[in-house]
Amino acid sequence: MKHILLLSTGGTIASRPGSDGLEPEMSGQELLSCLGDLRGRFQVEVQQIMNLDSSNIQAEEWKIMARSVYENLSGYDGFIITHGTDTMAYSASMLSFMLRGLQKPVVFTGSQIPMDNMLTDARNNLFCALAAVEAEIPGVSVAFNRHIIRGCRAVKVRTMGFDAFESVNARYLGEIFADGLRVYGGEPVDQQEKPELRDELSTDVFLLKLIPNTNPRLFDHLAEIGYRGVVLETFGAGGMHFHRRDLLEKLRMLEARGIVVVACSQCLYEPSNFTIYEVGRKLLEAGVIPAGDMTTEAAVTKLMWALGQETEPERVRELFLRNLAGEITE
């Protein structure tokens, strides 16, 4: 029998109609009671660590979640974190980096429709999460719509559909079919033997999606505000304009000030490659760190985390380029 700790954080799954729309109100114990009698197969305990719409979940909440897992690692076989879908991919990515040497399952799940609604997908998603723990899929993952996704590869791609999450540039860790859960590999990428909590991070990271005509002066403001890192969503395989509105000059300025710049693609699938075109090679010459096939959510959270671990830009670069949790294809 698996001994599981359910950490409840709010989200749609725990929401009920309020005066201003859906609001998280259900407790984790109420969610668990909706699954019926699990005795004989699972022993589940509940901790209500917050009750928030996931739009309000930020760095402080990431630390609470990570610490709640870490401090209870020895007492449980696995963990389920119920969470709102809107920022679940960010939270799952960040915990993938904060919890080093993680050999036990930590499974995020939620729903598109509240548990109280007769049409809810919440029960199926919670059962999916229980199956992931039972199968002992190690590390952080997202269980949704009968799929198990590596936490740092999950992206929310739909606002209304039940298939809200996809595994981007990586195979599912598992899928549920009529004959049960099929697990595909799932070996931990992190080979560190002893679990360790490394939850220091920097929130001074800005995400900028480039568009034609981006004003170069924007980068001056980012430096003045005090940002330590910038993630650029570049065009296609990796490019930005330097004709007429020269963004490269500003990137060199950021590098000179010790501000770390990471570049990924606006395309959801397949890796960026900054060596193909002139516009991409100029980015590399300006000192930009390529994010490969990482998701935007993983690139943002990994840069936040890396800046919390290291202060020297070159050490941040080295750490960012390492595959820590399966977030990048080597």
Q: In angstroms, what CA-CA distances link 12 with 92, 208, 255, 328?
A: 17, 28, 41, 30
Parallel/antiparallel/unpaired status of strands 260-265 and 229-234: parallel
Look up tokens 């019926």; give the residue.
36
Residue of 12, 82, 85, 120 with catalytic role: 12
Strands (E) located in 104-173: 105-109, 139-144, 147-150, 154-156, 165-167
Mean pLDDT per 10-residue run, the chain (330 residues)? 97 96 96 91 97 98 98 98 98 98 96 97 98 96 98 98 97 96 81 90 98 96 97 94 93 96 96 93 95 98 98 97 94
CA distance 275 to 238: 9
Instruction: Please indicate whether residue 12 is annotated as part of the active site.
Output: yes
Residue 46: helix, strand or coil by DSSP? strand
CA distance 211 to 199: 33
CA distance 81 to 274: 37
* pLDDT at residue number 126: 98
Domains of the chain, with CATH numbers?
Answer: 2-197 (3.40.50.1170), 205-321 (3.40.50.40)
* pLDDT at residue number 207: 98
CA distance 184 to 201: 32
Residue 241: helix, strand or coil by DSSP? coil
* pLDDT at residue number 186: 65
First to last CA, the chain: 37
The pTM of this model reads 0.96
